[in-house]
């Protein structure tokens, strides 16, 4: 990995990955993900669940935290499950 491009999912930034080529790792900006999640599901779910999922240090921790959110509010878990976990979850992010 030579560099990481952090995107708010803007189409221009997504296309820049193609132009810059190999060695570029895309990432989802958790701040923007958080803002979108908060507007849909409220701040309490963001504070209690989104950040815990984002910093999960293993796949098992990720799965258990996402399941806890699923049990509490299924649409919120589905929303986060729809975002490629390699782009925003610590335990899945590609690294050397």
Q: What string of DSSP letters covers 6-34?
A: EESS-HHHHHHHHHH-TTEEEEE-HHHHH
What is the structure's pLDDT at 23? Answer: 74
What is the structure's pLDDT at 29? Answer: 86
What is the residue-level pLDDT of the chain in tens, covering all 96 positions? 577 777 766 655 556 666 666 777 778 888 889 888 999 998 888 878 999 999 999 999 999 999 999 999 999 999 999 999 998 999 998 874
What is the structure's pLDDT at 26? Answer: 79
Domain ranges of the chain: 3-91
Give Dmax over CA atoms of the chain in angstroms: 41
């Amino acid at each position: 990995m030579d560099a990481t491009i952090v995107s708010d999912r803007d189409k221009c930034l997504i296309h820049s990955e193609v132009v810059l080529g190999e060695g570029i790792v895309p990432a989802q900006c958790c701040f923007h993900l958080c803002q979108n999640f908060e507007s849909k599901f409220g701040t309490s779910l963001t504070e209690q669940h989104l950040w815990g999922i984002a910093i999960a240090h293993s796949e098992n921790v990720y799965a258990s935290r996402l399941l806890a959110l699923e049990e509490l509010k299924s649409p919120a878990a589905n929303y986060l499950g729809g975002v490629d976990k390699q782009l925003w979850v610590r335990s899945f992010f590609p690294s050397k």
